[in-house]
């Protein structure tokens, strides 16, 4: 099995992705870290603790950053994920407390303990990962792989601005640091996640006694309605696509090269891959590690994985 640290801002599609990570036999969920994004850090941390209770996993949940490295957060997308981040279903509070360590310390501790065989799946802003790199400069030696849901690499296909995707524009400085570190990032961005569309019919096979899958189904109602305004029948499977990449990377086709993130200006949050095979004069992409950016996906294959987790 593949040991996973799941960094998340639950988040309706985050909740589905967490269920997939917990239930798929190829993955061993060893830690969950929270990050502001779909709601503020208090709400997403409460949500993660509640999901742990309902889903029944025992990995530690650690609270992450409340603000980006530039010191901002919000506004939160209540019209997509609800005021509570989970489509209005979350309880006001939970009895469990998060791990006493901040998220970036837990990431480093778990990675070192596992001796190099850990995959980080990050489906929110990349602030915790950037803080973990600053806290522990040898961290990349202990990480097998980093898989992120984030970015819009095709150009003009962002979801917050034409240039930028939410998880990247929420902390572009952190994202640029993460793409500058000496590890391999598999980026699963809007270029592929918008090809993975799920409909509410996919919940038809959820068993009546399965409170975990029912939570994901019910939380998805508001999320699904948000997509109506684009005239889309169904909704995008963003975060579960990143988990699917940890289970079956062969479902994706990648292009390789160094990546930069635009930190300021009208294109703030844009992710730009410099293809390894193309020649350019010296520039800002030099001396940066190569990453793998997904441009094609077997959408049916990803949906099958999610569907079997929901119907288990």
CA 98 to chain centre: 20
Tell me if 11 contacts Ca ion by CB under 5 A: yes
Among the candidate windows 116-124, 133-141, 204-212, 302-310, which touches Ca ion by CB under 5 A?
Answer: 116-124
Concerning whether 238 is annotated as a catalytic residue, the answer is yes
Site for Ca ion in 12-51 (CB under 5 A): 14
């001396």: which residue's tokens? 287
Which residues in 3-13 are b (16+ Cβ under 10 Å) and which e? bbbbbbbbbbb
| C-alpha–C-alpha distance, residues 31 and 242, integer Å | 16
Query: Residue from 123, 133, 147, 294 that binds Ca ion (CB under 5 A)?
Result: 123
43 binds, among Ca ion, ligand BDR, none (CB under 5 to 8 A by kind): none
Nearer to ligand BDR, 150 or 258 (CB): 150
Residue from 81, 99, 119 nearest 34 by CA:
99
165 binds, among ligand BDR, Ca ion, none (CB under 5 to 8 A by kind): ligand BDR
Among the candidate windows 96-104, 122-130, 131-139, 193-201, which touches Ca ion by CB under 5 A?
Answer: 122-130
Concerning whether 9 is annotated as a catalytic residue, the answer is yes
Count residues binding Ca ion (CB under 5 A). 6
159 binds, among Ca ion, ligand BDR, none (CB under 5 to 8 A by kind): ligand BDR
**Binding residues for ligand BDR (CB under 6 A):** 11, 13-14, 38, 123-124, 149, 159, 165-167, 238-239
Tell me if 98 contacts Ca ion by CB under 5 A: no
With beta carbons less than 8 A apart as the criterion, state whether 28 and 246 touch: no
Minimum CB distance to ligand BDR, residue 252 (Å): 17
Minimum CB distance to ligand BDR, residue 137 (Å): 27
| C-alpha–C-alpha distance, residues 170 and 160, integer Å | 10
Minimum CB distance to Ca ion, residue 86 (Å): 12
Query: Residue from 98, 124, 151, 269 that binds Ca ion (CB under 5 A)?
Result: 124
Minimum CB distance to Ca ion, residue 28 (Å): 21
Minimum CB distance to ligand BDR, residue 113 (Å): 27
34 binds, among ligand BDR, Ca ion, none (CB under 5 to 8 A by kind): none
Residues in the chain: 312
220 binds, among Ca ion, ligand BDR, none (CB under 5 to 8 A by kind): none
Active-site positions? Answer: 9, 238
Binding site for Ca ion (CB under 5 A): 9, 11, 14, 123-124, 239
């Amino acid at each position: 099995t593949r040991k996973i640290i799941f960094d998340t801002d639950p988040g309706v599609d985050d909740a589905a992705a967490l269920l997939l990570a917990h239930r798929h036999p190829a993955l061993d969920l060893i830690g969950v870290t929270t990050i502001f994004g779909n709601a503020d850090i208090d709400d997403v941390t409460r949500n993660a603790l509640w999901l742990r209770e309902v889903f029944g996993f025992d990995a530690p949940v650690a609270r992450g950053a409340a603000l980006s490295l530039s010191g901002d957060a919000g506004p939160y997308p209540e019209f997509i994920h609800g005021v509570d981040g989970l489509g209005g279903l979350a309880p006001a509070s939970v009895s469990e407390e998060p791990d006493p360590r901040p998220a970036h310390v837990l990431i480093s501790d778990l990675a070192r303990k596992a001796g190099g065989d850990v995959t980080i799946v990050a489906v929110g802003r990349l602030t915790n990962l950037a803080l973990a790199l600053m806290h522990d400069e040898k961290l990349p030696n202990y990480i097998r792989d980093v898989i992120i849901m984030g970015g819009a690499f095709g150009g003009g296909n962002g979801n917050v601005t034409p240039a930028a995707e939410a998880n990247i524009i929420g902390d572009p400085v952190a994202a640029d640091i993460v793409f500058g570190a000496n590890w391999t990032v598999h980026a699963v961005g809007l270029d592929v996640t918008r090809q993975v569309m799920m409909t509410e019919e996919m919940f038809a096979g959820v068993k009546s006694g399965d409170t975990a899958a029912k939570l994901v189904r019910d939380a998805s109602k508001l999320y699904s309605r948000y997509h109506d305004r684009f005239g889309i029948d169904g909704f995008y499977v963003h975060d579960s696509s990143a988990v699917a990449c940890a289970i079956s990377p062969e479902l994706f086709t990648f292009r390789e090269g160094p990546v930069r993130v635009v930190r300021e200006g009208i294109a703030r949050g844009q992710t730009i891959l410099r293809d390894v095979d193309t020649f350019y004069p010296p520039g800002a992409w030099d001396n940066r590690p190569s990453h793998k950016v997904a441009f094609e996906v077997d959408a049916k294959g990803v949906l099958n994985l999610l569907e079997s987790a929901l119907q288990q």
